[in-house]
Structure 1
Amino acid sequence: MTDETRIRVDVGDGSISAIVARPAGAVATVVVAHGAGAGMEHPFLSGFTRALDREGLATVRFDFPYREAGRRFPDRPPVAIAAWRAVAEAAARLAAEAGSPGEPIWGAGKSFGGRMASMAVAEGMPAAGLVFLGYPLHPPGKPAQVRDEHLYGITLPMLFLQGTNDPFAAPNDQLDDIVARIGPNARLDWIEGGGHSFEVKGRKRPQDEIAADLAPRVSAFVRAR
């Protein structure tokens, strides 16, 4: 396993924790944010980032300020976006220090973390592209409350990985239509039978293994661009 290093990233008047890993010959850095209910130490996030490292991509995963403070409820978008900006800037500095100035920095996230990455990009945060691990298109059972307005102005490459049984994106054709409207820079890969964390009913697997299986898709998308 690629060595992991813990760092602190200044955000506003405080700081947040992050874990950095950089395999030899890394061609890009993928910054990964957690979902609303779990932090950067969750097996899903650690399994995903470590699999990306094995694919030859550097990774930075981090905790939003509310997790750092031990609170249960997610930060409001301005706070989460500020955290995203700070960590993306830190990732770029780390790449430069490693001898790779100008390295592509991608934003990725599980559910809430991915949506906040896209909102940060919509507000001007530089990034090479975005990866969504279960985009929370709407609250479960409320498909009319769609969270898509800011996506249409993003011209970066975007990869949506979504389970076909994800209640945050049902019915499936709703997300199909939205990705088509975004344009050719966006791609949607459905994971057959997957729930919001890509778990498949009747098939018990550890979260780190489930997430690791997503890494080759992400690596191929990043390398192709």
Structure 2
Amino acid sequence: MSIFGTTLNGSLCIPAFQLSSEKAIKVKVKIPFGNKYLDAIFSVPKKKLTYGVILTHGAGGDMNFRQLVSLAAYLVSRGILCLRFTCKGLNIAYRAKAYKAVVEYLKLSDDYKLSGVFLAGRSMGSRAAASVIRQLSQDSDGDFIQGLVCLSYPLHRPKLQSKLRDEDLLFIRCPVLFVSGSADEMCGKQLLEDVASKMKAPKKIHWIDKANHGMAVKGRTTDDIMEEINTQVFSWLRENIELEHK
């Protein structure tokens, strides 16, 4: 079945991910979380929305971490809504609980009615996203989740490769993209490939050559590396959105 539809007057309805020329609208929001609120920013394409991506940061920083801002700008310029949010704290259960609140907020939003959403995060944020997907896969909300994007997934602590953080990954069934540095001190290359081989979910790993956990590479500019990351993420999203419509 074609992913192209028609409007009531018969004109062509172009999928959101093909809208590359529109400028985004940014909307700051406060997302309820227990007795507090999470700071968040919507980057909204001007055309009709179809799919969205939720982005969050690692153990340090916030939603304005440079890589997340760059990725959000890249994706929204191609028609994909992005919701970035900040959640401070080093407790993974707490971070996952906050991420789940954001997913529920977006799903129930009257302003942004999406067909589905991809969860994404950097470092600890990707662990939180994986945990949420595992939780939601057991109920009806799982249908809303289209996939997982892990930027610098922290598979283990530095120099502690015997204790892997792979429990959630092995339970996930939706598509997963890993973008990691081949010299990441928190994600041994062979270890991640071994974990991926055990996963039941469709998965892809894109290695940034010689990059560390912070995605820095000697001899390459930050902008150059972010361009590589952004194009890989968008390409993967587009492939999975197309598969969803076949």
TM above 0.5, one fold? yes
TM-score by length of 2: 0.80
2:41 counterpart of 1:19 = yes
What CA distance in whole angstroms lies between the structure 2 residues aligned with 1:164 and 1:139?
Answer: 16
Unaligned runs of 5+ in 1: 67-73
What CA distance in whole angstroms lies between the structure 1 residues aligned with 2:117 and 2:58?
Answer: 20
Instruction: Report if aligned partners of 1:108, 1:132 keep a CA contact under 8 Å in 2.
Output: yes
2:30 counterpart of 1:8 = yes
Instruction: Report if aligned partners of 1:50, 1:212 keep a CA contact under 8 Å in 2.
Output: no
| Deviation string, structure 1 residues 134-164 (Cα, Å, up to 9, x no partner) | 1000011111121002211110100011110
Given the alignment, which residue of 111, 120, 130 partners 1:97?
111
Higher relative contact order (CA 8 A, sep 6+): 1
2:194 alignment counterpart: 177
Instruction: Report if aligned partners of 1:118, 1:151 keep a CA contact under 8 Å in 2.
Output: yes
1:70 alignment counterpart: none
Corresponding letter in the other structure for 1:60: L
Instruction: Report if aligned partners of 1:35, 1:110 keep a CA contact under 8 Å in 2.
Output: yes
Corresponding letter in the other structure for 1:91: L
Report how far residue 184 of structure 1 moved: 5.3
Instruction: Report if aligned partners of 2:59, 2:90 keep a CA contact under 8 Å in 1.
Output: no
Instruction: Report if aligned partners of 2:171, 2:200 keep a CA contact under 8 Å in 1.
Output: no
What CA distance in whole angstroms lies between the structure 1 residues aligned with 2:73 and 2:221?
Answer: 21
Higher Rg of the two aligned structures = 2
Corresponding letter in the other structure for 2:128: M
What CA distance in whole angstroms lies between the structure 2 residues aligned with 1:193 and 1:112?
Answer: 21
2:120 alignment counterpart: 108
Instruction: Report if aligned partners of 1:31, 1:91 keep a CA contact under 8 Å in 2.
Output: no
2:152 counterpart of 1:134 = yes
SS at match of 2:53: strand
| Deviation string, structure 1 residues 111-132 (Cα, Å, up to 9, x no partner) | 0000111011112263111000
Report how far residue 83 of structure 1 moved: 0.9
Instruction: Report if aligned partners of 1:55, 1:215 keep a CA contact under 8 Å in 2.
Output: no
TM-score by length of 1: 0.87
1:78 alignment counterpart: 93
Report how far residue 212 of structure 1 moved: 4.1
Unaligned runs of 5+ in 2: 1-22, 241-246
**Structure 1 outlier segments of 4+, above 6 Å:** none
2:220 counterpart of 1:203 = yes
1:69 alignment counterpart: none
Give the total of aligned pairs: 211
Cα RMSD for the two superposed structures: 1.7
2:186 counterpart of 1:143 = no
Instruction: Report if aligned partners of 2:126, 2:153 keep a CA contact under 8 Å in 1.
Output: yes
Listed as ranges, the matches of 1:18-97 within 5 Å are 18-23=40-45, 24-64=47-87, 66=88, 74-94=89-109, 96-97=110-111
2:238 counterpart of 1:223 = yes
